[in-house]
A and B are shown apart, each in its own frame.
Chain A
Amino acid sequence: MRALLIALMLWATPSMAVQPDEVLDDPVLEQRAREISEGLRCLVCRNENIDLSNAELARDLRIVVRERLVAGDTDEEVLDFMVARYGEFVLLQPRFHAGNAALWLAGPALLLLGGGIAIAFIRRRRPESASDTLTEAERARLDALLKENDDV
């Protein structure tokens, strides 16, 4: 709980993250700057992006992002610049590479695994596949279950 409270306190300091003087005149560039900022971690904060943070460092980073954009960088180049400077820790969305493959593939892999098991389970339960061979076993089981229920 304490960690939560501290986190909340950090968040709840006045959230005037982007100051009016930082905003670029070109709305298209500004929009791109906002989107990039939302994906960059405020390195001194707890799980907060630089677009929302009030930390001095976050402000510096926001200004750097805008400077790079004004200088003509693509979004990807701005991110590369940040990673070169601060390491991959700065990215809130980890890049896909060998070290992170397990993270990115976890969802699809779990779906394949879970879905596969589920489909195998469901197919085994089909009446057609079961009724021919299992009638007697089923009946015995059914009786047992009914009995079990009576015992409960």
Chain B
Amino acid sequence: MTAELGHYALILAAIVAIAQSIVPLIGAQKRWADWMEFSVPTAQVQFLLVGISFAMLTWAFVTSDFSVELVAANSHSDKPMLYKVTGVWGNHEGSLLLWVLTLALFGAMVAWWGDNLPPTLKARVLSVQAMVGVAFYAFILFTSNPFTRLEFPPMDGNDLNPLLQDPGLAFHPPFLYIGYVGLSTTFSFAVAALIEGKVTPAWARWVRPWALAAWVCLTIGIGLGSWWAYYELGWGGWWFWDPVENASFMPWLISAALLHSAIVTEKRNTLKSWTILLAILAFSFSLIGTFIVRSGVITSVHAFASDPTRGMFILGILAVSIGGALTLFALRAHELRSNVVFGVLSRESALVMNNVLLAVSAGVVFIGTLWPLIAEFLTGAKISVGPPFFNIAFTPFFVALGMILPIGAMMPWKRAKLGKTIRPLTGAIALSLAVGCFIWATQTGGGMIAPIGGLLATWLVLGAATDLAFRAKAGQVSGGETFRRLRNLPRADWGKATAHSGLGILMFAAATITVWQTEDIRTMTPGDTFEKAGYTLRFDGVERARVENYISDMAQITAFKDGEVVAILNPEKRFYPVQSFPTTEAAIDRSITRDLYISLGDRQDDGSWAVRTWVKPYANWLWVGMLMMAFGGILSLTDRRFRIGAPAQKGSRVAAVPAE
């Protein structure tokens, strides 16, 4: 019964969403208050219904109801409970249900906390949000029903894939989804503003938390995926420029641009049409990302053809929503002009440059990702666009971004003087140049990548610190006063400094791990030792054991430094007989300056074992950098001005608080 109940609730939710997309829109046009107010209960009921539907599917997974096709295909009675639950969204149908659940949740949140929104805007936002919902309900109900029953239920489920039973992977998709769907809310706000025909600073203030929350979730989602790949894939790769990754990276870049341009719209009431366009683009990239992942179109045009219904359906959603929004934009953008003035050198200009660089880098990723498809379509030539291309074509834009960031971040609004802005940064400039030169002079090989990485990291971190110190008038007032001022700075300032420093740290780690990582491949028998980057590594042997449902070959390798034991590493090879599926479990000894990363290979004919060892410098800084960026975003989200009302609504205590 439960599956049918879930299916039924989903159909009801779709019907409610249809009503929610039509009635408030007409109400807003005709200024009928009760028609506009209709958006609030429908948004809540819709969320309740999808919630029931999702709960029913979760119940089927938790109770291992193998009469439901999806459960039979994607679960197993022996799975730990955590992975039974995460299995709900570990597949196509379930992940789409999670998508609409999040979409409905965000709509309900606008309904709950949108009391200070102008009634017409609120009605239109909720209506557009529901239209997006309708498209996805139709997609699920017509092409990807998660509640299909099997006529002959199997005794047990099919999937016990050991590799996917991992916390890093289990929580990576939900974060990405919340990010994608968060961008649907900024999209709804943008389209609603276009229908209204006006964009005010208050609008930008309502939009920014959603953009920020979406960006934070994308950062965490991408970070989790990267972290998982690093320890699970057996060689410590953390970014592959794979189409599926690029699909999440493009919305990340555009939402980063959006949350910066929304600041200009909020504070200075300009850059309005660009902010609107970015909001449309950000969600468009989320949809394109979904299309890329769902349709399999990127692997080959033929994969798309093998199951064209789903691909065509998403392509249709894509065409209607992006095409419709852009048409509306073309019709209305000219009404959004403003005559606000600012100097060629100003915070406004700096943020425009930030937006150009972020948008261009997103464009490069977009074209690189789609190029094999375009080339095959145009000329029939099959070509590959892989990591070497992206490293060359993408990196320069981020280097340029890092170079201008601290200066732009310190520029005053309206009109800046370059000399005056740079003066407090003199120390940061000198020190980062010194760090760059020092790395260049002391490294052996590696070219300019590590020196530039070191220079940028120092520059971004010190630049952020200088910004804070400058705001707190450090050096001009007493130490105690400086401390008091620092404490009283808005959280958004601390968030900005934290996120920008995190970007610097990430850049440093990315540069050094790329050029300084060293590797060693050899065969070893028990007792063998070798030297690696100042460590002596001793191979103590391999033990075979039967563990639960797999056979384990676990090696022990002892790492010594100056005769002292530093670490004992246990790289492992597992073989799962049921799935006849081998996996590697690399052993990682983590530290601040390096990771010692060892993978166990095959047993050789002479009885020795293949062992692969890496020393990965500053690997942990990758995760620290990503975490700092996400944390900076969260700090900024909790800023006072988002917690209290928008500017035109002084006295109102309730604001559009986004998901955290």
Contacts and interface: CB of A to CB of B under 8 A. Distances in A.
B526 interface: no
A152 B521 CA distance: 67
B163 A99 contact: no
B83 to A, nearest CB: 13
Contacts of A94: 371, 383-385, 389
Contacts of A125: 270, 340-342, 348
Interface stretch (B39-47, B207-215, B234-242, B316-324): B234-242
A44 to B, nearest CB: 12
A5 interface: yes
A115 B357 CA distance: 8
Contacts of B601: 14, 16, 19-20
A127 B348 CA distance: 13
Interface in B484-507: none
Contacts, number: 200
B584 A14 contact: yes
A137 B343 CA distance: 19
Contact of B344 (A7, A12, A110, A126): A126
A123 B383 CA distance: 42
Nearest to A87: B382
Residue among A14, A106, A121 having the largest count of chain B Cβ atoms under 10 Å:
A14
Given A1-B95, A12-B233, A110 B364 contact: yes
Contact of B523 (A20, A46, A114): A20
B384 A91 contact: yes
A111 B360 contact: yes
Interface residues of B, number: 85
Contact of A2 (B91, B349, B394): B91
Given A1-B293, A149-B202, A20 B522 contact: yes
Interface string B416-437: 0000000000000000000000
Interface of A: 1-5, 7-9, 11-20, 23, 38-39, 41, 46-47, 49, 52, 87-94, 99-100, 102-104, 106-107, 110-111, 114-115, 118, 121-123, 125-127, 130-131, 134, 137-138, 141, 145, 148-150, 152
Interface of B: 89-92, 95, 118, 161, 163-164, 169, 173, 198, 200-202, 229, 232-235, 237, 240, 242-244, 269-270, 293-294, 296, 299, 338-344, 348-349, 352-353, 355-356, 359-360, 363-364, 367-368, 371, 375, 379, 381-389, 392-394, 396-397, 415, 521-523, 573, 582-584, 599, 601-602, 604, 610, 612, 646-649
Given A19-B610, A118-B355, 18 more contacts: A14-B234, A14-B602, A16-B234, A16-B599, A20-B521, A20-B523, A38-B388, A39-B386, A39-B388, A41-B384, A93-B392, A94-B384, A99-B381, A115-B356, A127-B342, A130-B341, A138-B339, A152-B646
